[in-house]
Amino acid sequence: MAISLAGFAIILILSFIGIPLAFATLAVGFVGFWIVRGDLFGALILSGQEIFDFSTLFGLSVVPLFILMGTLIQRANISDELFEAGYAWVGRYKGGLAMATVLSCAGFSAVSGSSLATAATMSRVAMPPMRKYKYRDSLAAGTLAAGGTLGILIPPSVPMIIYGIVTETNIGAMFIAGILPGILLTSAFLAAIYLRVSITPELGPRGERVGWAEKRRTLYKTWPIIVLFGIVLGGIYLSVFTPTEAGAVGCVGAFVFALSRGRMWSIYEIVEVSADAVIVTARIFIIGGAALIFGQFLNFAGLSGALVEFATSFNLGPFGLPLLICFICIIMGMIFESIGILLLVVPVFLPALEAVAPASGMNPDLYMIWFGIIVIIVVELGLITPPIGINVFTVKSVIPDVDLTAIFAGVVPFVIADLVVLALVFLIPGIAIFLPSIAPAFN
């Protein structure tokens, strides 16, 4: 147990001195396993095998497809048009540009699947106009960091894919389940901005009023997002194609839209976009492999068994156990990236969750979908909470002149909104499981 806690502490220290989290996790997991087992050769074999097994999972083939789709959409500058449409409709209100940022983040999330890509892209698009209208950095940067978290709840979502593979839950059902909670969380973020500027109006001054003709024009320009979202999610919902096939269809659609905007006509652009998608995919696979190696170290060190024993000793039941897991995920979210959390925590508690599922009153499959949405929302919190809020540092890297403490201060209202939505989904499971329960593809 002590060596496990020491491993977490070392990862935190390595991250703070600038070593990428994936490499810090990989190094600590490898060395920890070597120490626990006393076998360097065994540690080498295990580490290589974990990375190979993870990277060759067929279910993960959908990941690069959705990442490529988001990269193509980004190259087509549709993110700029999303923000333009959001500004046209809500920009004239107090905090309107921040609200437009949340709406554009939600739209971009619908074709991206990555919180980091959403935060980085919208930071470049939305920060200049918010500074033009003298928005405080805390509200502006905090909105960007929090809005980026919508990328892992609004489908398609890479963490949902990882969760579906780990728990053998239908990935398409997870995507459908994320729609209503995603809308609810977007609305909660808008409410958080409204309340914040109502208390302190100087945080987010009004923008310029836009006429109805311009509003309709900007709304019309967002049709590619609506079409792609409808094709990808609609096809999965109606069982027209699998999530992997949906990713391929989405890539083709995004490529056609990029061509229609005058992009992707040169070999250089095609190679550049493909390279960007490969780099992001490689990062995800490195994080996943490193998390699995660290997880094996925790298993051999006895931490995983101790956590399960602790949980089962209290007979927490189908709703108490998820509460405990949420608490653990919030703590781990202060250190690990979302995929790492899912790969470390979910497999440990999966047998216990499957055992208590029948007592929940829900279909066991729907129970696992409900829990999946719960844990995704909790993981979102980790992306914007100290000491290592990945989205906060992403916004900081794009806008280096913003003070880090200002960003963390700015995300506080959104953390509260996240907790409110988490409570609602926890108390009203139908928010997460209603759409999957009536979907033709899953009945």
Task: Please give the structure tokens belonging to residue 373.
Answer: 């949405």
Q: What is the pLDDT of residues 181-207, one digit of tens each?
A: 999 999 999 999 999 998 988 887 877
Provide the pLDDT for residue 237: 81
Report CA Rg, the chain: 21
Q: What is the DSSP string of 354-407?
A: HHHGGGGTS-HHHHHHHHHHHHHHHHHHHHSSSS--HHHHHHHHHSTTS-HHHH
Rounded-to-integer distance, Cα 173 and Cα 377, Å: 16
Provide the pLDDT for residue 230: 85
Provide the pLDDT for residue 442: 66
Q: Return contacts of 229-234, CB within 8 angstroms, 24+ apart.
A: 229/110, 229/111, 232/111, 232/156, 233/155, 233/156, 233/175, 233/176, 233/179
Q: Compute how many other C-beta atoms are within 10 angstroms of the C-beta atom of residue 314.
A: 10
In terms of phi and psi (left: phi > 0; alpha: psi -120 to 50; beta: otherwise), the region of 263 is beta
Helix axes 21-37, 40-55, angle to 10 degrees: 140
Provide the pLDDT for residue 372: 95
Q: Tell me if 164 sits within 8 A of 57, measured CB to CB.
A: no
Provide the pLDDT for residue 317: 83
Residues 6+ apart with CB under 8 A from 195: 413
Burial classification of residue 347, based on how many CB atoms lie within 10 Å of its CB (0-12 exposed, 13-18 middle, 19 or more buried): middle
Provide the pLDDT for residue 441: 62
Where the chain has pLDDT below 70, the residues are 1, 113, 304, 334, 441-443
Q: Tell me if 262 sits within 8 A of 74, measured CB to CB.
A: no
Q: What is the DSSP string of 302-353?
A: THHHHHHHHHHHTT-HHHHHHHHHHHHHHHHHTTS-HHHHHHHHHHHHHHHH
Coil vs helix vs strand at 135: coil
How far out from the chain centre does Cα 148 lie? 8
Domain holding 327, by residue range, is 2-442
**Which residue type, as a one-letter code, is found at position 36?**
V
Q: How many domains does the chain have?
A: 1
Is the model's pTM score more than 0.95? no
Residue indicated by tokens 């020491």 = 6
Rounded-to-integer distance, Cα 102 and Cα 85, Å: 12
Rounded-to-integer distance, Cα 244 and Cα 226, Å: 20
Q: Compute how many other C-beta atoms are within 10 angstroms of the C-beta atom of residue 249.
A: 18
